[in-house]
Structure formats: C-alpha cells, structure tokens
C-alpha cells in the first residue's frame, strides 16, 4: 500500500501498519468485502477463528487475484481451543486456503496460557504461523509468557484509540519491543463525531475517520478499521495521503481527557 508505513516486528518481519478488520462482518459478505479491499490496495487483513468468516477471507483473497505472498493475514486462536492450538490452526489454514498465516494470536487469556504459548512457538518454528502474539492480555499475563519461555510476543492486540489509548500498556510494549495493534480504532465510528476530529479534518481537508486513523499510524500503532462499505473502504485507505502536524496530533491526544 503506497504511503502506508511498515512496522518491523521483533522477529524481523515487516507488517503494514494499516489494514482491514473483519470482526462482525457477516460470513456471507466477507469474500466481497475482502476482495474489494484488496482490489483497492489493502494488503493486511485481520480475522479470527471466533469471527466465523475465515473461509470468506480466503475466498476474497483468491478472487482478488492478489498473490498470497503480498497479503498479511492474521487470525486468532478461539477461546475454546487453548488445549489444541495446533489442530485449531490447521483448521484455520484449511478455511483460509493457505499453508501459513502471517500472524497467529492467542485471542484472549485462558487458564493454560504458558502451554498454549509454547505450542505457538512450535508453530512459528515450523512455519505455519510466521509471527505469533497475543490479544487482550494484561501486562502481568504478557510477562508470565516471557518469563516462562524467553519468547516475547511480536504483537499485542488491544483496544486502543484517542479516547482510550492505554498509554501504560503502550509504554510496556515499547520496553519489551512488542508492536501494538489497535482494534476498535474509531470506537465503532463514534469518535468521528468528536469536535476535535471534525476540526482537524476541516483544517487538513480530510474526513474525521481519516485523521483519526492517521493519528494511529503517526503514533506508531497498527490499525485495522472494519467496514462493509466499498465507499468507506476507499475513504479509510485515503489515510495514506493525510498529513497531520505535531499540533494536530497533540489536539487528538487531548481527546482522552475532553468530552
């Protein structure tokens, strides 16, 4: 994606810092949405076993004609599969129609996280999951994994946006070399009506969604907003051409404290 920065993970691999999330995209619509996104220029898709739409992601990729090696695909281990992540990933790969995912995450903490993490390390070493990480963990939960195995997650996916940036967690990530992925970057669109987002958007000639997404990129986060609209897909991708000043970024930072 021209104009979209990359993040180099602690395992040396580079991920596009902007993509498409398919949480709550109906399975019947997923192939169309993913195909359209890839045709527009997206090269990063975030799904999960629990979303029930991995097959649609794979179908959309095939229908788009974009080479598999050009697209970063993330999926996440379902909560009920912590005891058999190897089998769960094999099923995901079959649904996606690929021999590997670029990132495999433990979707939520469970009661056997260290054992699950050890299996993800094995899957990474075998090549079926090129990078591995976690989602929705606490700092203590991440530390437990690191202390038990010596392997630092490449990514931690958390809910992060200008209203709830989770700065302490982000600082923890920076200390450990963990990339922060932000789900819910627009808070289901609610942030686009915020007066600050509108004011900055008017000044730079962009939409509120674009300036909020640009804030994520400029603050070093990986973001993947969800939409099923072709027009909104194109609008969101326009983030690549938005430029914010340090003053703009500070104004958006202050959304955390102001209504």
**Residue 51 annotated among the catalytic residues of the structure:** yes
Mean pLDDT of the chain: 96
pLDDT band at 3; cut points 50, 70, 90: confident
With a pLDDT cut of 90, the percent of the chain lying above it is 95
pLDDT band at 1; cut points 50, 70, 90: low
Q: Determine the pLDDT at residue 242.
A: 97
Q: Determine the pLDDT at residue 258.
A: 55
At residue 158, does pLDDT exceed 50?
yes
Report DSSP state, residue 241. Answer: G
pLDDT band at 259; cut points 50, 70, 90: very low
Interior angle at CA 118, CA 115 and CA 123, nearest 5: 130
Residue 131: strand, helix, or coil: strand
Q: Tell me which of 89-98, 106-115, 122-131, 187-196 is least confident.
A: 187-196
Per-position b or e across 73-112, b if 16+ CB within 10 A of its CB = bbbbbbeebbeebeebbeebbebbebebbbbbbbbbbbee
Half-sphere CA count of 63, side-chain side, radius 13 A: 14
Q: Determine the pLDDT at residue 189.
A: 74
Do the Cβ atoms of 185 and 213 come closer than 8 Å?
yes
From 60, 66, 18, select the one nearest 236 (Cα to Cα). 18
Residue 212 CB burial class (10 angstroms; 0-12, 13-18, ≥19):
buried
Report the alpha-carbon distance of residue 253 to residue 246 in Å, rounded. Answer: 10
Residues 6+ apart with CB under 8 A from 183: 21, 23, 46, 135, 157, 158, 159, 160, 224
Report DSSP state, residue 178. Answer: P
Annotated catalytic residue: which of 17, 18, 34, 51?
Answer: 51
Q: Mean pLDDT, to the nearest integer, of 11-27?
A: 97
Q: What is the pLDDT of residues 175-194, one digit of tens each?
A: 999 999 999 999 877 899 99
Q: What is the pLDDT of residues 35-73, one digit of tens each?
A: 999 999 999 999 999 999 999 999 999 999 999 999 999
pTM recorded for the entire structure: 0.96
Residues 6+ apart with CB under 8 A from 198: 208
Q: How far is CA 78 from CA 92, 126, 143, 201, in A?
A: 10, 20, 21, 38
Q: What is the pLDDT of residues 211-255, one digit of tens each?
A: 999 999 999 999 999 999 999 999 999 999 999 999 999 999 999
Does domain 6-187+215-241 sit in CATH 3.40.50.12280? no
């Amino acid at each position: 994606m021209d104009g979209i920065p990359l993040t180099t993970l602690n395992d040396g691999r580079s991920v596009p810092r902007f993509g498409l999330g398919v949480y709550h995209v109906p399975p019947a619509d997923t192939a169309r949405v993913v195909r359209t996104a890839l045709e527009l220029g997206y090269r990063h898709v975030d799904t999960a076993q629990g979303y029930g739409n991995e097959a649609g992601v794979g179908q959309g990729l095939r229908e788009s004609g974009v080479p598999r090696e050009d697209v970063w695909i993330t999926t996440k281990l379902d909560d009920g599969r912590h005891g058999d992540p190897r089998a769960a990933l094999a099923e995901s790969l079959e649904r996606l129609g690929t021999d590997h995912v670029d990132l495999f995450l433990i979707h939520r903490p469970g009661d056997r996280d260290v054992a699950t993490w050890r299996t993800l390390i094995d899957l990474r070493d075998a090549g079926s999951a090129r990078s591995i990480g976690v989602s929705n963990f606490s700092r203590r939960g991440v530390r437990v994994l690191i202390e038990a195995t010596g392997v630092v997650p490449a990514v931690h996916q958390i809910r992060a946006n200008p209203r709830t940036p989770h700065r302490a967690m982000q600082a923890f990530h920076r200390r450990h070399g963990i990339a922060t992925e932000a789900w819910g970057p627009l808070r289901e669109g609610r942030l686009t009506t915020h007066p600050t987002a509108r004011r900055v958007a008017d000044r730079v000639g962009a939409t509120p969604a674009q300036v909020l997404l640009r804030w994520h990129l400029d603050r070093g986060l990986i973001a993947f907003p969800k939409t099923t609209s072709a027009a909104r897909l194109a609008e969101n991708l326009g983030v690549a051409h938005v430029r914010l000043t340090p003053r703009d970024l500070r104004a958006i930072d202050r959304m955390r404290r102001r209504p």
